[in-house]
């Protein structure tokens, strides 16, 4: 069956949902020049699909979704589906200037300020876990699960290769029906763009093969959770020299890297409102769940909020060296999560913080005195409101709308027991 090719122009909202408008491929050139119409109040749509009331935008105002040609992601035609070119867009005012509440503009601004202040470029990669919920039970990391997921898995990797994502690993994970996909590090805005796109490619291919994919932080309160680990490194764009590594320092973390980490740790409780923003996120972020058991920096400890990742001996250690932020999941908007982490790291670099302790790999579970993460989303939102530093990084309309969307999601799931709550969130993510 022949279908006319389509172009879909999209943004990712405060509920972590990708939304946008399609035009026939024959009209794509016009859409690239002029964008497509959008409405400010669309930013106030919750993950459950309704515009929250009240919101700061009401029924007034107009925007344009202006596609970024560099984000083109091609989905080839199949027997039942048209070919689609998917583009990510900036939300702009009618005169073409950036809208102050656009999440992608928030990330771009944070990265530009970081480079202007430090002279360094941020390199990143988002590592995603998800479940294919309708597969038969199989052993963790097993060949059987790997094969059970085909041809979905091989088609996903091929599509990522086709679009230049640089897939590195595709694996059956520890949790029941769980998988992980990793892609190569890139300049940070591109990494966040790819995080938005990868989630949609996974869901799209899963549907085509009759599977149900979910990135929900938890599908079962007693089961394994799905995280999004954000890997960050710094480099001099003119020389390629790494900015986080110093062989003579504890853990190999440079003085600049320690200050960056100190900023993230100092504001972690507020940051997690942005990086783990669903009503189930903090059921996963607890000790002994291999997610983030507290606010600390460690070498190769998967309970740490910030982890110094292992490097391979005999290779260029500096180019491998990176920090992994572990308190994020796919209910977060990747641009907001990235921008908030970069703002926190820059604040640590430009302000006086004590160097954080680097817990050694052999510290085990003896982590007395470690600051705790928020117990739930309401506590995280309160920390965000009360943090006089973090709250100033956001346009006021953006911040108020984010809090309103999250509060709406809390209200709409109030009274559900943990199992029902996990199921409710899994249904939309």
Average pLDDT over residues 101-125: 98
pLDDT-derived band of residue 364, with 50, 70 and 90 as boundaries?
A: low
Give pLDDT tens digits for 135-194: 999 999 999 999 999 999 999 999 999 999 999 999 999 999 999 999 999 999 999 999
User: How confident is the model at residue 314, as a pLDDT?
Assistant: 73
In terms of C-beta density within 10 A (0-12 exposed, 13-18 middle, 19 or more buried), how is residue 134 classed? exposed
Give pLDDT tens digits for 41-98: 999 999 999 999 989 999 999 999 999 999 999 999 887 888 999 999 999 999 999 9
Inform me whether the pLDDT recorded for 426 exceeds 90.
yes
pLDDT above 70 as % of the chain: 98
Q: pTM to 2 decimals?
A: 0.96
Q: What rounded mean pLDDT belongs to the chain?
A: 94
In terms of C-beta density within 10 A (0-12 exposed, 13-18 middle, 19 or more buried), how is residue 305 classed? buried
Give pLDDT tens digits for 199-225: 999 999 999 999 999 999 999 999 999
Inform me whether the pLDDT recorded for 1 exceeds 60.
no
Average pLDDT over residues 300-309: 91
User: How confident is the model at residue 232, as a pLDDT?
Assistant: 98
What number of other Cβ atoms are within 10 A of residue 150's Cβ? 11
For residue 276, give Cα distances in angstroms to 51, 292, 325.
21, 11, 12
Asked whether 292 and 305 are in contact (CB, 8 A), the reply is yes
In terms of C-beta density within 10 A (0-12 exposed, 13-18 middle, 19 or more buried), how is residue 80 classed? exposed
Give pLDDT tens digits for 372-412: 999 999 999 999 999 999 999 999 999 999 999 999 999 99
User: How confident is the model at residue 290, as a pLDDT?
Assistant: 83
Domain ranges for the chain? 106-387
For residue 204, give Cα distances in angstroms to 152, 338, 423.
10, 24, 20
Question: 3-state SS string over the chain?
Answer: CCCCCEEEEEEECCCCCEEEEEEEHHHHHHHHHHCEEECHHHHHECCCCCECCCCCCCCCCCEEEEECHHHCEEECCCCCCCCEEEEEEEEECCCCCECCCCHHHHHHHHHHHHHHHHCCEEEEEEEEEEEECCCCCCCCCCHHHHHHCCCHHHHHHHHHHHCCCCEEEEEECCCCCEEEEEECCEEHHHHHHHHHHHHHHHHHHHHHCCCCEECCCECCCCCCECCEEEEEEEECCCCCCECCECCCCHHHECHHHHHHHHHHHHCHHHHHHHHCCCCCHHHHCCCCCCCCCEEEEEECCCCEEEEECCCCCCCCHHHHCCEEECCCCCCCCHHHHHHHHHHHHHHHHHCCCCCCCEECHHHCCCCCCCECCCCCHHHHHHHHHHCCCHHHHCCHHHHHHHHHHHHHHHHHCCCCCHHHHHHHHHHHC
Here the tokens at position 394 are: 């956001």
- Match domain 106-387 to its CATH number in 2.30.30.40, 3.50.50.60, 3.40.640.10, 3.30.590.10: 3.30.590.10
Average pLDDT over residues 325-331: 97
- Only one residue has tokens 């965000």, namely 384
Closest by Cα among 358, 356, 267, 365 to 308: 358
User: How confident is the model at residue 2, as a pLDDT?
Assistant: 64
Give pLDDT tens digits for 269-292: 999 999 999 999 999 998 888 888
pLDDT above 90 as % of the chain: 87
CA distance 131 to 425: 13
User: How confident is the model at residue 366, as a pLDDT?
Assistant: 62
CA dihedral 357, 231, 132, 174 (to 10 degrees): -40
Distance linking the first and last C-alpha atoms of the chain: 31
């Amino acid at each position: 069956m022949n279908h006319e090719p389509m172009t879909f122009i999209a943004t990712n909202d405060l509920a972590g949902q990708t939304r946008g408008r399609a035009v026939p491929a024959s009209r794509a050139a016009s859409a690239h020049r002029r964008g497509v119409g959008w409405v400010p109040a669309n930013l106030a749509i919750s993950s459950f699909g309704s515009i929250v009331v009240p919101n700061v935008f009401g029924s007034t105002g107009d925007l344009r979704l202006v596609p970024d040609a560099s984000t083109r992601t091609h989905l080839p035609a199949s027997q039942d589906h048209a070919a689609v070119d998917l583009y990510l867009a900036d939300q702009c005012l009618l005169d073409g200037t950036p809208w102050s509440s656009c999440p992608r503009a928030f990330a771009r601004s944070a990265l530009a300020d970081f480079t202007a202040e430090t002279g360094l470029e941020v390199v990143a990669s988002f590592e995603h876990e998800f479940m294919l919920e309708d597969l038969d039970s199989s052993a963790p990391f097993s060949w059987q699960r790997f094969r059970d997921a085909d041809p979905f898995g091989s088609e996903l990797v091929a599509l990522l290769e086709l679009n230049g994502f640089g897939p590195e690993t595709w694996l059956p994970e520890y949790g029941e029906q769980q998988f992980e996909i990793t892609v190569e590090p890139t300049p940070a805005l591109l990494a966040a763009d790819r995080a938005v796109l990868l989630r949609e490619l996974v869901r799209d291919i899963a549907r085509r093969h009759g599977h149900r994919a979910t990135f929900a932080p938890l599908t079962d309160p007693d089961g394994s959770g799905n995280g999004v680990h954000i890997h960050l490194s710094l480099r001099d764009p003119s020389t390629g020299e790494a900015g986080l590594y110093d062989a003579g320092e504890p853990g190999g973390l440079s003085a600049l890297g320690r200050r960056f980490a100190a900023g993230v740790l100092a504001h972690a409780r507020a940051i997690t409102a942005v990086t783990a923003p669903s009503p189930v996120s903090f059921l996963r972020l607890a000790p002994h769940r291999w997610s983030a058991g507290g606010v600390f920096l460690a070498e190769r400890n998967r309970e740490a909020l910030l982890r110094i990742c292992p490097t391979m001996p005999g290779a260029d250690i500096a180019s491998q060296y990176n920090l992994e932020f572990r308190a994020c999941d796919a209910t977060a908007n990747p641009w907001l999560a990235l921008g908030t982490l970069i703002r926190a790291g820059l604040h640590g670099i430009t302000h006086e913080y004590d160097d954080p302790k680097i817990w050694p790999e052999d510290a085990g579970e003896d982590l007395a005195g470690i600051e705790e993460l928020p117990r739930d989303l309401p506590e995280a939102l309160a920390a965000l409101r009360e943090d006089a530093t973090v709250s100033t990084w956001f346009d006021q309309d953006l911040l108020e709308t984010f809090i309103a969307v999250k509060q709406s999601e809390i209200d709409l799931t109030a009274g559900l027991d943990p199992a029902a709550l996990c199921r409710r969130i899994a249904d939309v993510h």
